[in-house]
Amino acid sequence: MALDPRPVIKAGSLTNLTDARYFASFGVEMIGFHFDPYAENYLPADLAAEIRDWLYGPRFVGEFRGVSKSDQALADFVSTVEKVKLEVVECTPEDLAVVKSNWEGPIILAL
C-alpha cells in the first residue's frame, strides 16, 4: 500500500470564527483550539463549540497541556471534549498516558 504523499495541514490555536472560516475555505484538514487557560491563545470551550457549529469540513482538534497535573485539569479535559465534540486531541508526552486513559480517538503528540 502506497502512502499518500500529501501533507495533512492543521491550523492551530485559532481564537475566532473569521480565522477558522478562512482556513476551512482553503480546505485544511484540521482546525485546532487551545484549551490551556494559561496560554496566550486560550479559547473557552463554549466559544469553541459555537465556532465549530459554523464550520463544515475540517476535523476539530483540542490542543491540551497539563491534563495530568490535577483532577480539575482532567475534569476540564473530559468536559471540553464532550462540549466541543472534538474529533482529535493534541497533547504533550507528559499527558499522553492520562489522555489515552480518557480518550479513544486519534491523538496528535505535540513535541
Instruction: Give tens-digit pLDDT for 45-86.
Output: 999 999 999 999 999 999 999 999 999 999 999 999 999 999
User: Against a cut of 0.85, is the pTM above it?
Assistant: yes
Does residue 1 carry a pLDDT above 70? Answer: no
Residue 13 Ramachandran class (φ > 0 left, ψ -120 to 50 alpha, else beta):
left
Give the pLDDT of residue 5: 77
Question: Does the pLDDT value for residue 2 go beyond 90?
Answer: no
Q: How confident is the model at residue 3 (pLDDT cuts 50, 70, 90)?
A: confident
